[in-house]
Amino acid sequence: MKSWNRFKNSYLFYSFKRDPVAIFSFSALSVLVIISILAPVVAPYNTYDMATIDIMDAETPPAWMEGGSESFILGTDIQGRDLLSTMIYGLRVSLLIGVGAVLLQAVVGILVGLLSGYLGGKLDAFLMRIADIQFSIPYLIVAIFTSAIFKLAFGVGRYAELAVPLLIIIIGMSEWPKYARTVRASVLGEKNKEYVEAARVIGINRWQIMYRHVLPNTLTPVLVISTIQVAEAVMSEAALSFLGLGMPITKPSLGALIRAGFEYIFSGSWWITFFPGVLLAFLILVILLLGDWLRDVFNPKLYKG
C-alpha cells in the first residue's frame, strides 16, 4: 500500500496520466501480453495439436469474404490451421523470444559494464575493445551469421527443435554491447560520488559496493533502453524467421507465418501474410512508442540509439 502511494505520487505516474500516447501504447501492449500468456485459453483452436488440423480447410478466406467459414474468423493458413489461433500462438513465441533475448543481453551487458566500469584498468580496456569490435558490425549481420552457423552445425531438424532457446541466445549475444556501454558510462559517473566513497571508508568490500550501491543507481538508463531493445529483438526474430533461419513452420512465430504466407500472395491468399504482418508491425510500434515516452520521462538528453 505504501509503495503504491509512492508510485501514485511519482513523476512517472504523473507524466503517464498526462500523455495519451503513453496510455494507449501501455494498454495495447498489456492486452497483447495478456492474450499471449493466456493463449491456450483465448485461442479458438490449439494449433500445436495436430488432431484439430484438417488440410481440407487450407486457404479458407476470412469469414466476411466469399467462401469464408464462420468457424475461422480470419481464415486459415496453408496447412489448414485457424489463422487467428496461429497468430495468437505466434505472438506468444515472438514475445517470449524478444523478452528472453533482452534479459540475456541485459545480464551479460550489465555484468560486463559493471566490471569494466568499476574495476577499470586492463580488464576494462579488453572488454571494451571486444564490445567495440562487435559494435562495429551491425547486430543483424551478427545474428544472421550465427543462426546460419548454428543451423549448419545442429542440422535442420535439431535446430527446429531447439529454435526457441537458440534464438534467445543468438539475438541476446548479438546486442549485449549496447548494455555494456550504457552501464559502464553510468558506473563511471557514479563511482566517484560521495556515497561510494563513504561506503569504502566504512570498510564494505568492493563487490558489495558494486552490487548493493553502484548497480541500483545505474538501472534507470537500462530500463529505458530495455523497452526499445525488446522491439529490436522482436524485429530481429521476425527477420531471422522470415529468412528461414528462425522458428520452424510447425511452431511459427509471426515472422515465420509471414514467410509461409508470402509464397501464396501471388495466388491471391493475401490474408495469411496480411494479418500477421499487421500484428507484428502494431506490436513493434506500441513497444517503440512506450520506449520513446520512457526515454523522455527519465532523461530527455539521453542519446537516441
Partner 1 sequence: MFAFIVRRIIQAIIVMLVISLVGFSIQHQIGDPIRDLVGERVTPAEREAIRDQLGLNDPFYVQYVRFVKNACKGDLGLSFFYKKPALEVIAAKAPATIELVIVTALILIVISIPAGIYSAIYPKSWFSRIVMAFSTIGVAIPVFLTAIALIYLFGVELNWLPSYGRGETVNLWGWESGFFTWDGLKHLVLPSVSLSSIMLPLFIRLVRAEMMEVLETEYIKFAWAKGLHRERVWYIHAFKNTLLPVITVFGVQLGILFAFTILTETVFQWQGMGFMFLEAVERSDTSLLVAYLVVVGVIFVVVNTIVDIVYGFVNPMVRIAGTK
Site for partner 1, rule CB under 8 A:
129, 133, 136-138, 140-141, 144-145, 148-149, 151-153, 231, 235, 238-239, 242-245, 255, 258, 262, 265-266, 268, 270, 273, 277, 280-282, 284-285, 288-289
Q: How far is the CB of 151 from partner 1 (least distance, A)?
A: 6
Q: How far is the CB of 196 from partner 1 (least distance, A)?
A: 22
Q: How far is the CB of 273 from partner 1 (least distance, A)?
A: 6
Helix (H/G/I), strand (E/B), else coil: 138 = coil
Instruction: Give CA–CA dist 240/148, Å, rounded.
Output: 9
Which residue, 97 or 215, is less far from partner 1 as judged by CB? 97
Sign of CA dihedral 236, 107, 155, 97: negative
Q: How far is the CB of 47 from partner 1 (least distance, A)?
A: 22
Is the CB of residue 233 less than 8 Å from the CB of residue 97? yes
Which residue, 137 or 198, is less far from partner 1 as judged by CB? 137
Which residue, 133 or 223, is less far from partner 1 as judged by CB? 133
Cβ burial 235-252 (10 Å sphere, 16+ → b, else e): bbbbbbbbebbbbbeebb
For 129, counting Cβ atoms within 10 Å of its Cβ (0-12 exposed, 13-18 middle, 19+ buried), the class is exposed
Q: How far is the CB of 209 from partner 1 (least distance, A)?
A: 25
Instruction: Give CA–CA dist 234/102, Å, rounded.
Output: 10
Tell me the three cell numbers of residue 26: 501501455
Instruction: Give CA–CA dist 141/75, Å, rounded.
Output: 35
Q: How far is the CB of 238 from partner 1 (least distance, A)?
A: 6
**Tally of residues, the chain:** 305
Which residue, 34 or 141, is less far from partner 1 as judged by CB? 141
Which residue, 196 or 231, is less far from partner 1 as judged by CB? 231
Q: Given its phi and psi angles, is residue 121 left (phi above 0), alpha (psi -120 to 50 degrees) or beta? A: left
Helix (H/G/I), strand (E/B), else coil: 251 = coil
Which residue, 214 or 245, is less far from partner 1 as judged by CB? 245
Cβ burial 13-25 (10 Å sphere, 16+ → b, else e): eeeeeebeebeeb
Which residue, 23 or 281, is less far from partner 1 as judged by CB? 281
CA 156 to chain centroid, in Å, comes to 24
Which residue, 41 or 153, is less far from partner 1 as judged by CB? 153
Q: How far is the CB of 222 from partner 1 (least distance, A)?
A: 22
- In the numeric block, the cell 500523455 is attached to 19
Q: How far is the CB of 124 from partner 1 (least distance, A)?
A: 11
